[in-house]
Structure 1
Amino acid sequence: MSTHDLTSENPQGTGDAGEIEELRARLEELLPTAVEDLKSLVRIPSIAFEGYDPAPVRRSAEAVAELLRGAGMAEVGIESVAGGSPAVIGRSPAAPGRPTVLLYAHHDVQPTGETSHWTSPPFEPVEREGRLYGRGAADDKAGVMAHVTALRLVGEELAADGIGVTVFVEGEEEAGSPTFRPFIEAHREALAADLIIVADSANWAVGTPALTTSLRGLVDLVIEVRALDHAVHSGLFGGPVLDALTQLSRLLATLHDERGEVAVEGLVRAPDPTVRMEEADYRRDAGVPQDLELSGSGPLAAQLWTRPALSVIGIDAPSVREASNTLVPVARAKVSLRIPPGESPESAMVALVSHLERHTPATAQVTIHRGEQGRPYSARQTSPAMDLARQAFARAWGTPAVDTGLGGSIPFIADLLEVFPEAEVLVTGVEDPESRAHGIDESLHLGEFARVCLAEALLLRGAGTLGGLRA
């Protein structure tokens, strides 16, 4: 048996079981090359954040473009708008009257954090116990390679059937997609599609696929608290004035109640999901020790998908190592608020800012710098494309897909739906709960990667049965 273990039962669905087995066999032959190509992408430190060298991002785009050319794309180009990071567009146009599928992924990655905390260097991919470790190995260079591998598998069949395929690989998703909207508007004609597959989400568990049917949106801001014009001796002046870090801490503490529930008034809660998440699974996947209580109340899936969640994700203040006996004059914190479907980011921002203003102490100056806003997403539960995706996933994994929410945010999906209102969007993924995307020791389960490639190939193969969704 292959180390990627592609064996599974074939549930009832479109296609012939013999054809599926033939496709599995061809995929087995392609996987070693696909994994090596993925390793080459991981070696490129394509961090698109401000302050990082942009050259690796360009190099990453060029590598992706070369992969798409090798996969048979008829037209491949590297584009950018408004000074944004380079994105790659590959196109094989549809025959008249036939549908076009747009495949999305991104080639930029998160910063690594402290590299000494990694078991192996983040940009030197390493295989360990069936997983590939490295920054971007899962999020989202595996998504890029899933598209490439699916095209290597069935690209010629799609061309013969007249099905059009466009591959759009963004270069600044992790940095908040600052030029995404102007980019897709500038390239509206090239990116127009009947079906859009976004490969940037996660599966339910190793061995169980998922279709992401809802995503939380995002609101963030920076709180700046100033207590003094300049630092002063804590012994000589401490007492009548509270330092800025203490006052910032007191303000941040108002954001949650004693149970850990978000205490900001006016935020929306969506209905609880029907999917049950086991506490033991959550603790394992999130790394929560057994002797610690969980915060909040209600079903875990609801807390993760359909209720607001608020976190302090960064603080500017003197480090413990460099602290001196002075009163800190100014301190800052970045706050991230995840909002469920049914909430608008504009309303959530107003509610959060209003809460902070109401709790601003008279002993400090508080300035709020509003940041990113991203809309939540809720998909149609039933449609021909969703049914086709469920069949493809069931065949690839040998078990039905779970319709799942995701606590994370993909704000650009709202832009896709607004610019291409006639298209249907499917959100799929290459990650699993142990992938640690954005974290230390990010990794990809290679067996799951193989199944993702197979499922996408089956989905593309069946896209011709959908007809022209825009017709």
Structure 2
Amino acid sequence: MTRAAAIHAASRYFETGGFARDLGALVSHETESQTPDKAAELPRYLEQALIPRLNAMGFTCQIHENPAPDAGPFLVAERIEGDTLPTILTYGHGDVIRAQTDQWRDGLHPFRLVDEGNRLYGRGTADNKGQHLINLAALKAVIDTRGSLGFNSRILVEMGEEMGSPGLSEFCAANTDALAADVLIASDGPRLQSDTPTMFMGARGGISFDLIVDLRDGAHHSGNWGGLLADPAMILAQALATITDARGQIQVPEWRTTSLTDDIRAALRDLPLKGDGGPEIDEDWGQEDLTPAERVFGWNSFAVLAMKSGVPEAPVNAISGHAKAACQLRFVVGTNLDDILPALRRHLDEHGFKDIQIVPHERAFFNATRLPPDHPWVKFVARSLEHTSGKAPHVLPNLAGSLPNEVFADILGLPTVWVPHSYRGCSQHAPNEHVLKSVSHDALTLMAGLFWDIGHTGGPARTAAPA
């Protein structure tokens, strides 16, 4: 019954093919939450793929209906070993983004696991089936080695994260006792570099909306009406050009945060961002006086996700009556979510674009969260990961992307520590999604070591460092 034995058990699970076999079974469930025809797959994933595994590990499980209409269910599982022991809440989501089946390259299919070189391909391998499978397997390695966890474990799995987690806030607010814990330790998103553990303690928020210029019904001949009819595409382009300057620096005053403080700058200093499967960084894009790490982890960014006026696939000699841009703001702590769109309204009005409509997307918004880098749980987890890997982890104040961390931080009142098990080149939300086998193997050992340390020491409230 040693730490090394638990880590070895997790490693053997990977080396003997158990991880790939079990991941393949999870991937085979076509849990596209954004596709109404797949609604029956969402509870089936919990009933068939997760509950038998958790029951075998000594967890009691219950599926709950979502308080939001037509949204996927929740699974709450728990293993309580003692009233005086710490309780760890773990989270994952079993739904996946749309399959995009016809866009995957030859030999691949979104719902069939394909083992190729250092990669395991399939929808959900990175986001998020592979990640919560790693955490469940690490818990099992500790149970099998020690005979117990040494702490209480609660697990929440939702089936609607890719839709913006509808109903999650309401569900957690109504079940605070069932989800009570000392800390959230969960996994989503990518490592900063694939060969080094990463931690983050929050996430940027995200809000999406359309900007619409709707001037008239139908299009009109550009020869007969050119110079007489206002062009909605030009108006929209001019309006967008006021939101940022030519290098993407935000010009809406309320969107420029004040939360990039000295301690956050220090945490972001020297973090690597280049390479590791992603595109080359555009050094001359974004806020000019910030480092690349500060731009993506400590600042807000505006993006135009899509634009349309007329029929781009088959243009004709006509002035369109309509133009639309789908837009998004990713924002950090210190940005007032409730004032983001009103601030944009004021900005557009001041620049003479009162006729542009701002239409929020139906998808729920995630708010921004951040835990201080010197929090005791952050230090505890970092020491454990370094103990196992021999490398100091990359510690990010928050993820650059968005996830429902505010539910755990603000509603459940928990410190939140995320240990991602993917990498930035994983094609998450795109065709050919995959995980690296090397990262998955490493992550299994890291999480087994972390869960062992929590059970052995009780966590930072009970001891200064993991054994």
Normalising by the smaller structure, the TM-score range is 0.7 to 0.9
**1:99 corresponds to:** 86
Matched, 1:366 2:353: no
Within-5 A mapping of 1:6-25:
19-25=2-8
Q: Does 1:123 align with 2:114?
A: no
C-alpha deviation, 1:317, in angstroms: 4.0
Q: 1:22 to 1:155 in 2, by over 3 A?
A: closer
Partner residue, 1:10: none
Q: Show the 5 A alignment for 1:146-165.
A: 146-156=134-144, 160=148, 162-165=150-153
Question: Which of 183, 189, 200 matches 1:212?
Answer: 200
**How many residues are treated as equivalent by the alignment?**
448
1:3-402 pair list within 5 angstroms: 19-31=2-14, 32-49=17-34, 51=36, 53-69=38-54, 71-82=56-67, 83=69, 84-113=71-100, 115-118=102-105, 120-156=108-144, 160=148, 162-267=150-255, 268-269=257-258, 270-271=260-261, 273-274=265-266, 275-276=268-269, 281-282=273-274, 285-288=277-280, 294-297=285-288, 298-361=290-353, 365-371=355-361, 372-402=364-394
What is the Cα-based RMSD across aligned positions, in Å?
A: 2.7
SS at match of 1:454: helix
Identical-residue share of aligned pairs (%): 21
Shift of 1:357: 3.0
Indicate which of 443, 460, 465 corresponds to 2:451.
460
Distance in 1 (CA, whole Å) between partners of 2:36 and 2:224 is 39
Aligned residue in 2 for 1:435: 426
- What is the SS of the residue equivalent to 2:2? helix
Tell me if the contact between 1:41 and 1:63 (Cα under 8 Å) persists in the aligned partners: no
CA distance in 2: counterparts of 1:67 and 1:168, whole angstroms = 15
Residue segments in structure 1 that go unaligned for 5+ positions in a row: 1-17
Helix, strand or coil: the match of 1:273? helix
Kindly provide the amino acid, as one letter, of the partner of residue 452 in structure 1. Answer: A
2:441 aligned with 1:450, yes or no?
Answer: yes
Structure-2-length-normalised TM-score: 0.87
State how far apart, in whole Å, the 2-side matches of 1:407 and 1:310 are. Answer: 16
Shift of 1:468: 9.9
Give the Cα–Cα distance (whole angstroms) in 1 for the partners of residues 440 and 154 of structure 2. Answer: 21
How many angstroms does 1:282 deviate by? 2.9
Structure 1 stretch 390-399 or stretch 461-470: which is displaced more?
Answer: 461-470
| Cα distance between partner residues in 2 of 1:37 and 1:132 | 12
Aligned equivalent of 1:424, options 391, 415, 434: 415
CA–CA separation in structure 1 for the residues paired with 2:372 and 2:49:
32
Secondary structure (helix, strand or coil) at the match of 2:357 reads strand
How far apart are the structure 1 equivalents of 2:121 and 2:420?
A: 17
Structure 2: tracts of 5 or more residues without a match = 463-467
* Residue range with higher mean Cα deviation, 88-97 or 351-360: 351-360
Report the Cα offset of residue 360 of structure 1: 4.7
Tell me if the contact between 1:94 and 1:100 (Cα under 8 Å) persists in the aligned partners: no
Moved more, 19-28 or 129-138: 19-28
What's the CA shift for 1:221?
1.5
- Give the distance between the partners of 2:196 and 2:435, measured in 1 at CA: 15
In the alignment, is the contact (CA less than 8 A) between 1:98 and 1:164 conserved in 2? yes
Q: 1:306 to 1:52 in 2, by over 3 A?
A: farther
> Aligned equivalents of 2:79 and 2:275: distance in 1?
45
Cα distance in 1 for partners of 2:460, 2:11 equals 32
1:396 partner amino acid: T
Q: Which moved more, 1:315-324 or 1:140-149?
A: 315-324
User: What is the alpha-carbon distance in structure 2 between the residues aligned to residue 370 and residue 289 of structure 1?
Assistant: 30
Alpha-carbon separation, structure 1, partners of 2:336 and 2:81: 36
Tell me the alpha carbon deviations over residues 99-138 of structure 1, each in whole angstroms, 9 at most, x when there is no partner.
Answer: 1111111111122447325452222222222111222111
Deviations 1:141-186 (A, max 9, x none): 1122012211220135676465211111111111111211111123
Q: Secondary structure at the match of 1:253?
A: helix
Q: Aligned partners of 2:219, 2:49: CA distance in 1, in Å?
A: 50
The DSSP-based 3-state class of the residue aligned with 1:188 is coil
Look up the equivalent residue of 1:72 and give its one-letter code.
M
SS at match of 1:78: strand
Deviation at 1:26, TM superposition (A): 1.5
